[in-house]
Amino acid sequence: MERNVSSLAIVLHSQRYGQLNRRLKLLTVDFGIIDVLSYGAQKSLKSVKAEVFTDGQFFLYYNPVKKDYTLKDVTVLATHDELRESLHPTYAALFFCELLLRVHGGESTDEYRLLSQALDHLSSMPQKTDLVIIQFVHQLSDLVGLRADFSRCPICDRPYGSNEVVSFSTSLLAHCCEACASLDADLLLPPGARRYLEVTSSMGFEQSLQVPLSDAATLRIKRYLLRYAQMIGQGVLKTLASPILWEASST
Ligand SMILES: [Zn+2]
């Protein structure tokens, strides 16, 4: 017997399934990340439109025997179509979805809220794409329990000096002092970047985007966090294989 269920959710991924159908991956508030079949999504005018980045209330059938979900309807809160108008915001949004599929494991509600805000900001402020990328990775690391205090080494507990460049522990997946660093660690965090990450640690998304940061510092911190994302993503991320996100987006 099928059951009707619903949840706030965002479409992370969508691929063709058979001739006319699509298989979606949804980040839902109530059920975590789930696969959902959308029948007739290719051609039919009546079919429910739920493209990647769509944020809304999703109405589903759940079949407890087959343990699968089918899309019935969606009340769209935001399509985030605006961000598709330029390359960097589009890549950034795809990167967020790919990274969440890799590291999902925190509270679904918090991850949904973070992605929803990040997509809203990419849509309304495409010129701030690099700052949105920085804050997305920074805040996600906190949600999945990997973020360490930026004022001291999380391994030996020694406070960092104000001009100290800190290194990285690949086993802890966090920054640490040079003495505690992994032998092959080449991920260096300069003092200015560390201060920025520390200051914005306790801020909301909106507020952190207002903190002034030079273009050079923005690029440096973004590249640090993209490399960090590859570490916590445990392998090659497709969206980081191209050079696009590694370049400055505001030119
Ligand atoms: Zn240490």
CATH number at residue 13: 2.40.50.140
Instruction: Classify residue 144: in a domain, yes or no.
Output: yes
Span from the CA of 2 to the centroid of ligand 1 (angstroms): 55
Ligand 1 center from residue 185 Cα (angstroms): 13
pLDDT for residue 66: 87
202 in the same domain as 108 = yes
Same domain, 52 and 115: no
Q: How far is the CA of 177 from the centre of ligand 1 (A)?
A: 4
Give the domain CATH number at 176: 1.20.1440.120
Do 47 and 85 belong to one domain? no
Q: Are residues 62 and 89 in the same domain?
A: no
Does 39 fall in a domain? yes
The reply to whether 88 and 46 lie within a common domain is no
Q: What range defines the domain where residue 196 resides? A: 81-245
Q: Once rounded to an integer, what is the mean pLDDT over residues 156-160?
A: 97
In a domain, 174, yes or no: yes
**pLDDT band at residue 247 under the 50/70/90 scheme:** very high
Position 1 confidence tier, pLDDT thresholds 50, 70, 90: low
- 192 and 129 share one domain: yes
Q: Which of 57, 78, 99 is the last residue of a domain?
A: 78
Same domain? For 73 and 90 the reply is: no
The CA distance from 154 to 202, in Å, is 18
| Ligand 1 centroid to residue 247 C-alpha, Å | 32
Mean pLDDT computed over 95-112: 93
Regarding whether 117 and 198 lie in a shared domain, the answer is: yes
CA 223 – ligand 1 centroid, Å: 23
State the pLDDT at residue 42: 54
d(CA 181, ligand 1 centre) in Å: 7
- The reply to whether 131 and 48 lie within a common domain is no
Q: How far is the CA of 232 from the centre of ligand 1 (A)?
A: 20
**How many structural domains are present in the chain?**
2
Does the structure show a pLDDT above 60 at 109? yes
Task: Indicate if 87 and 72 belong to the same structural domain.
Answer: no
Distance 103 CA to ligand 1 centre (A): 26
251 in a structural domain:
no
In a domain, 250, yes or no: no
What are the two backbone dihedrals, phi and then psi, of residue 135, each rounded to the nearest 5 degrees? Answer: -70, -35
pLDDT at 251 over 50: no
Instruction: Provide CB contacts within 8 A for 101, sequence distance 6+.
Output: 12, 13, 25, 33
Select from 15, 29, 25, 49 the least CA-distant residue to 116. Answer: 29
SS percent in the chain: helix, strand, coil, step 5: 40, 25, 35
- Whether the predicted pLDDT of 45 surpasses 60: no
Residue 180 within a domain: yes
Please state the rounded mean pLDDT for residues 154-178: 95
Q: CA 56 to CA 79: how far, in whole Å? A: 8
Ligand 1 centroid to Cα of residue 49, in Å, is: 51
Q: What is the mean pLDDT of the chain?
A: 92
Single out the residue in 78, 109, 139 at which a domain terminates. Answer: 78
Domain boundary among 53, 78, 103: 78
Report the separation in Å between the CA atom of 164 and the middle of ligand 1, taken as the mean of its atom positions. 12
Number of helices (H), then strands (E), in the chain: 7, 7
- Do residues 86 and 46 share a domain? no
Read off the pLDDT band of 101 (50, 70, 90).
very high
Assess whether 133 and 195 both reside in one domain: yes
pLDDT tens, position by position, 205-245: 999 999 999 999 999 999 999 999 999 998 889 999 999 99
Ligand 1 centroid from CA 180, angstroms: 4
More confident residue, 153 or 105: 153
